[in-house]
Structure 1
Amino acid sequence: MACTACHGTQGKAGPDGYYPRLAGKPAGYLYNQLRNFQEGRRHYTLMAGLLAPLGPDYLRDMATYFSELDIPYPPPARSSAPAAVLERGKTLALRGDRTLGVPACVACHGNALTGVAPGAPGLLGLPRDYLNAQLGGWQTGQRKAHAPDCMADIARRLSADDVNAATQWLSSQTLPASTKPAIQRPAALPGALTLPPCGSAS
């Protein structure tokens, strides 16, 4: 109940675009983020206070509960961005940018961008404001992960225009019929950048 007060009934997201969806996200990812709030790698006073007295077994139970919920997603927001901006966002999401050293989002978040169990979250179905806030958090160090902190490295290579393009495109995409996380990370495409094991999923 403490979770759903902000994250919406059954964890299907808060009404303001700031509190993200919990339902259906990989249990490992949810658990790791709860620990990150407890241990100061993510910063939000309310979350830290709620989680401070809770032990790891309780956190795992919470993460498992929300991961097993299968709640329909609302229709995506329609983007008013110019076609060129949306095309750049699509390119970053599906192909990356070798000149910047930025891998495609699909390399870690799954070919359908619905996440990869146990530790990579889906990127579709999230409000643009939330996506912007998280990328900004990685860029400024407000959000951190265990080393190697690949998401921080990737985010810092993105310009403000690229962040805008990526979040405009991601937040406006219709979700696939199955929104469940993939079971394993997809194989790298020929010529794609490869990543080391990523602490962002830890």
Structure 2
Amino acid sequence: MAARVLACASCHGAEGEGTSDVYFPRLAGKPAGYLYNQLIAFRDGRRKYPPMNYLLEFQTDDYLKKIAEYFASLRPAFPPPVPPVESKEVLARGETIVKNGDPQHGIPPCSACHGPALGGMEPGIPGLLGLRAAYISGQLGGWRYGTRTALAPDCMQMVASLLTEDDVKAVAAYLSSRPAPADPSFAPRGSLPMPLECGSEPH
């Protein structure tokens, strides 16, 4: 499989660790179910990025599942966090949303689904560390404006639609400034509270 996924390496790194390009995310160590869902979404056009859509257009479900399982099994070192350029106030707002949400505006904490250590949960919720601020902002923006969608009910679209532009900037800045997790594994299925029903995380 390592030889078969060499086409992924130029953008995502030889072990899925990510590259210096801020828009190509880390794949390694994310739950296989999450990676599989994203591969299907690119193949079927629910996520739109022409190089990925082209590469996956004729791949079978079984082959995409094997790719997902391969990258989920890898554990390369996390990159060092990028020193934040935002103010302490912006970082504090991001930390508040990540850890506590914003009940006044109906925003649940990121940690409720992605875990207190932000490592994700099996089978379909990814970890949030080791990603650049520009990538995080881009994905939240994609959900807010409907260019990225997931299986209904699309819980991330619901959450992202409640965020302001400043909230997105704050969350992205805070997450990208966090050090690597001490334990990069994800939480077992059903072990997190899940404040919203999520189509990609069946109960």
Q: Which runs of 5+ in 1 are unaligned?
A: none
Moved more, 177-186 or 133-142: 177-186
Q: Counterpart amino acid of 1:133?
A: G
1:31 alignment counterpart: 36
Which residue number corresponds to residue 183 of structure 2? Answer: 178
AA matched with 1:199: G
Could you tell me how far apart the structure 1 residues matched to 2:164 and 2:106 are?
Answer: 13
Whether the 8 Å CA contact 1:151–1:200 is kept in 2: the answer is no
RMSD, aligned CA: 1.4
Alignment of 1:22-101 (within 5 A): 22-101=27-106
1:133-169 superposed Cα distances (whole Å, 9 cap, x missing partner): 1001001100001111111111111111111111110
* Equivalences, count: 197
In structure 2, do the counterparts of structure 1 residues 187 and 4 end up closer, same or farther at CA, with 3 Å as the change threshold?
Answer: closer
Equivalent residue for 2:169, pick from 164, 170, 189:
164
* Counterpart for residue 199 of structure 1: 199
Matches within 5 A, 1:12-27: 12-27=17-32
Give identity over the alignment, percent. 49
Deviation, structure 1 residue 186: 4.3
CA shift in 2, pair 1:187/1:58, >3 Å: closer
Task: Give distance in 1, aligned partners of 2:79 and 2:34.
Answer: 22
Q: TM-score, normalised by structure 1?
A: 0.93
Give the conservation status (yes or no) of the 8 Å contact 2:42–2:49. yes
CA contact (8 A) 2:37 2:200 kept: no
Aligned equivalents of 1:161, 1:186: Cα separation in 2: 31
TM-score, normalised by the number of residues in structure 2? 0.93
Contact map agreement 1:138 1:144 (CA 8 A) in 2: yes
The corresponding residue for 1:7 is: 12
Does the 8 A contact of 1:109 with 1:185 survive in 2? Answer: no
Residue 123 in structure 1 maps to residue 116 in structure 2: no
Task: Quote the Cα distance in structure 2 between the aligned partners of 1:24 and 1:49.
Answer: 24
State the AA in 2 paired with 1:5: S
Deviation at 1:3, TM superposition (A): 0.9
